[in-house]
Structure 1
Amino acid sequence: MKLKSSVDILSEWDIVAARQLGRNEAKEVGFGTVDQARITTAISELARNIYLYAGKGNIEIKQITQGNMQGLLVIASDQGPGISDVRKVMEDGYTTSGGLGAGLPGVKRLMDDFKIETIFGEGTTISATKWLR
């Protein structure tokens, strides 16, 4: 596994930087253009959530191997307010920002594995993995 790559999310420009990093890493692993788009969309959503709800955080992208499978692990972490109702934010159409509400359910659909760890008042870490087919 190569050195981890990450982007601190402090401004809207960092969302763009995280997307670009994700696309580059996905290309390097061997993902096709459709999966590259899925991965960058998921990263964009996660980074935007950090920016909107936590103010600052980090997107970390790791190339991973499990047995003979290769993939990309995206870890979005922040020390923001946390998510008070994970079930609610995982409902399609739920939005607190006036957006489309594709949000986290959309990320879960775009990726293969998805996990939320959140402590109200302390922050949130979301891990999402895409495996190479």
Structure 2
Amino acid sequence: MGIQSCVKILNEWDIVAARQLGRNVAKELGFGTVDQARITTAISELARNIYLYAGQGQICIEKIYEGSKAGLKVIAVDSGPGISDIRQVMEDGYSTSGGLGAGLPGVKRLMDQFDIISSLEKGTDIRAVKWLR
């Protein structure tokens, strides 16, 4: 288990803080600027979802290692209303906020691994990993 750094998401400024944390950890791990941008975009999307739909939650960034591989794991957790239909929110172009709908499918495309667990009235737990190439 790597060391986690977390940012509580309570307002829009926290989204910026979570992005900054992700960028810093990505830089430390040696990710190039393109992957840093992918990671910060994914974090932005996840943090914005927490802010918009759950009201509060947290984004944790963790350095992970598997054999000789290094990566960055983003964990987005909230205790909001949960997602009733994960398949639906994972469809491209689906948006409840009237946003661009890059949403969760966008996060999945930006990252190498993506897992989502959501329970109605209990919240959502999303984990996404980007491996260093």
> How does the TM-score come out when normalised to structure 1?
0.98
Q: Secondary structure at the match of 1:71?
A: strand
- Correspondences of 1:94-105 after superposition (within 5 Å): 94-105=94-105
Instruction: Give the drift of 1:3.
Output: 3.0
Partner residue, 2:51: 51
Partner residue, 2:28: 28
Instruction: Give the drift of 1:26.
Output: 0.1
Partner residue, 1:14: 14
Structure 1 runs, 4 residues or longer, greater than 3 Å off: none
Distance 2:80 2:3 in 1: 26
Distance 1:11 1:95 in 2: 21
Partner residue, 2:68: 68
Distance 1:26 1:13 in 2: 20
2:42 is aligned with 1:42: yes
Q: Unaligned regions of 5+ residues in structure 2, if any? A: none
Instruction: Give the drift of 1:4.
Output: 1.4
Partner residue, 1:114: 114
User: How many pairs are equivalent?
Assistant: 133
Distance 1:2 1:84 in 2: 31
Cα-Cα RMSD: 0.8
Distance 1:96 1:76 in 2: 19
Q: Aligned AA for 1:132?
A: L
Q: Unaligned regions of 5+ residues in structure 1, if any? A: none
Instruction: Give the drift of 1:2.
Output: 5.5
